[in-house]
Copies of this chain bind each other. A is one copy, B any other.
Amino acid sequence: MKKIFVRDLDHVPEGTAVTLLGWLKAKRNLGGLLFVDLCDSTGSIQIVVKRDQADSSGPPDQMEQPVATATATQVAGAPYRLLKAASQESAIKADGVVQLGQSGKEVHVTAVEVVGQAELDLSPRPRSDFDVFDVSRADHLLRSRHFYLRNEKVMAVLKFRHLLMRAIHNWFNQHQYVEITAPVLTPLPLYDDKTALQLDVHDDSVFLTQCVGFYLESAVHAFERVYNIGPSFRGEESRSKRHLMEYWHIKAELAWVNLEDLIRIVEDLISHTVSVVEPQSDEIMSALGTQLCMHGLDTPYPRITYAEAVERLHHLGMEFEFGQSMGSKEEEALSKQFVSPFWIVGIPRAVEPFPYVVDQKDTRVTMTADLIATGGYGELLGVAEKIHDLSELDERMQEKGKFGDERYDWLRDLRKNGCVPHGGFGMGFERFIRWLLDIPHVRDTIPFPRTFRRRIFP
């Protein structure tokens, strides 16, 4: 079917005959005139139809019945009668002529076809205006996520997701990274078996990837700059607003870099991608009624050491012991002291995994940094130098109780064959979106969320 997208009507002169294909969003009946908002993926346009003789010969307005049945979804006939009878969210084909109305371009309808009737009792109607992020509605909205994707705000978030994903891929591409589509099925569930989803393949117990870091560490010795954007899985129990069981994980690894390089690289990635999507996001932001968070542009981001962060927490009267992992509570308290994202440098060795380099100047901490978002959104990502010396690795594996686990032998072998200083970073893509769009729960940033306490559906 030859169609014109609603957005393209901007460039169509008055008097042009067009065919619209879309969905009935709303209608108003003013005497013998029916005003219908017809929407498609690009926007919404008013179409106008007059009651004519053919319509008068039908049943009176008040008693009209829906025209379509489940067995005959495509119905043609007198435009007024058809549109009047069509329920909200029905799929409509409308032929008409472009005119300039009181509130801009509109289409005066000459023929109508109801392509797919909307017979399902869905409340609120997916395309209607309501608070789609309202937590009290979450259960219902997620159970019918296959319909609520049509909501204007949901579409705006997912269009933004698409834009941002493209900007990130393009940034990696411009900087000569090679994309490594690392496997989901892995014999090594990263550092902790307990938080991994497990399945049997060929009577072998394998895991769904929690992080592709080990595969990138291999590939970086070929390509020097590699990245991976793909699904990652965490089986751990969580009620937080920033955890998903299945999320998209942005990982990169580079040869010949140190912590300072990694911090600069991440600052460039974030500020560059925000500056690329910003000018393309006007419609998205107006649909969401919000503003894009621009704090990521203020590079370089301030840095505090982990030790300073602990001092600040104590100063705020919070109990926190050096060596612990910071949680949302701590990150939120600290983020109130900054107007831009900030780095906590040198995360303790006690909470960081074995491949991370220990700081020789303060052996309590590692050569790592976590980037904390503004607005209480917590940790966005972490960067880390990786150990390239075998004896250092073995020492850390012993410290973490991993030494002797044969599944890690190939990672030890990597250190025996031309291994070079390398490091990388990892970010949950959905957290990045959540922060930039100021969205209450991370589940609203992905098309079909999988969270911990919710049955997997649809």
Q: Mark A91-128, 1 if CB is under 8 A from B, else 0.
A: 10000000000000000000000011111101000000
Contacting pair A248 B181 (CB below 8 A): yes
A455 interface neighbour in B3, B202, B218, B225, Cβ under 8 Å: B202
Contacting pair A458 B231 (CB below 8 A): no
A178 interface neighbour in B73, B159, B223, B246, Cβ under 8 Å: B159
Q: Mark A368-388, 1 if CB is under 8 A from B, else 0.
A: 000000000000000000001
A389 to B161: give the CA distance in the assembly, Å: 31
Tell me which residues across on chain B come within 8 A of A453, comparing CB atoms.
Answer: 202
Would you give the shortest CB distance from A296 to chain B, in whole angstroms?
Answer: 22
A11 to B419: give the CA distance in the assembly, Å: 28
Interface-centre pick from A116, A119, A413 (highest chain B CB count, 10 A): A116
Q: Mark A411-443, 1 if CB is under 8 A from B, else 0.
A: 001111111110000000000000000000000
Tell me which residues across on chain B come within 8 A of A230, comparing CB atoms.
Answer: 230-231
Residues 70-87 (chain A) with a chain B CB within 8 angstroms: 70-71, 73
Tell me which residues across on chain B come within 8 A of A122, comparing CB atoms.
Answer: 417
Would you give the shortest CB distance from A402 to chain B, in whole angstroms?
Answer: 16
A212 to B81: give the CA distance in the assembly, Å: 39
Tell me which residues across on chain B come within 8 A of A41, comparing CB atoms.
Answer: 178, 222-225
A388 interface neighbour in B73, B158, B181, B219, Cβ under 8 Å: B73
Chain B residue, CB-CB nearest to A229: B181
Contacting pair A185 B457 (CB below 8 A): no
The interface-forming segment of A28-36, A48-56, A193-201, A332-340 is A193-201
A419 interface neighbour in B73, B206, B214, Cβ under 8 Å: B73
The verdict on A345 contacting chain B, using a C-beta distance below 8 Å, is no
Chain B residue, CB-CB nearest to A41: B224
Tell me which residues across on chain B come within 8 A of A245, comparing CB atoms.
Answer: 185, 201
The verdict on A410 contacting chain B, using a C-beta distance below 8 Å, is yes
Contacting pair B215 A447 (CB below 8 A): yes
Contacting pair A391 B70 (CB below 8 A): yes
Q: A149-B222, A162-B179 are in contact. List 4 more A-B contacts (CB 8 A).
A: A158-B223, A187-B456, A199-B208, A201-B235
14 contacts between A and B (CB under 8 A): A116-B419, A146-B410, A149-B218, A149-B223, A150-B221, A154-B222, A158-B180, A165-B181, A180-B447, A182-B447, A197-B199, A201-B245, A215-B458, A230-B230
Q: Residues of A at under 8 Å CB distance from B?
A: 1, 3, 21, 23-24, 40-41, 70-71, 73, 89-91, 115-120, 122, 145-147, 149-150, 154-155, 158-159, 161-162, 165-166, 169, 173, 178-188, 197-199, 201-202, 204, 206, 208, 214-215, 218-219, 221-225, 230-231, 233, 235, 245-246, 248, 255-256, 258, 388-391, 410, 413-421, 446-448, 450, 452-453, 455-458
Q: What 8 pairs between A and B have smallest CB-CB spacing?
A: A199-B199, A146-B218, A41-B224, A116-B419, A91-B418, A120-B417, A150-B222, A149-B222
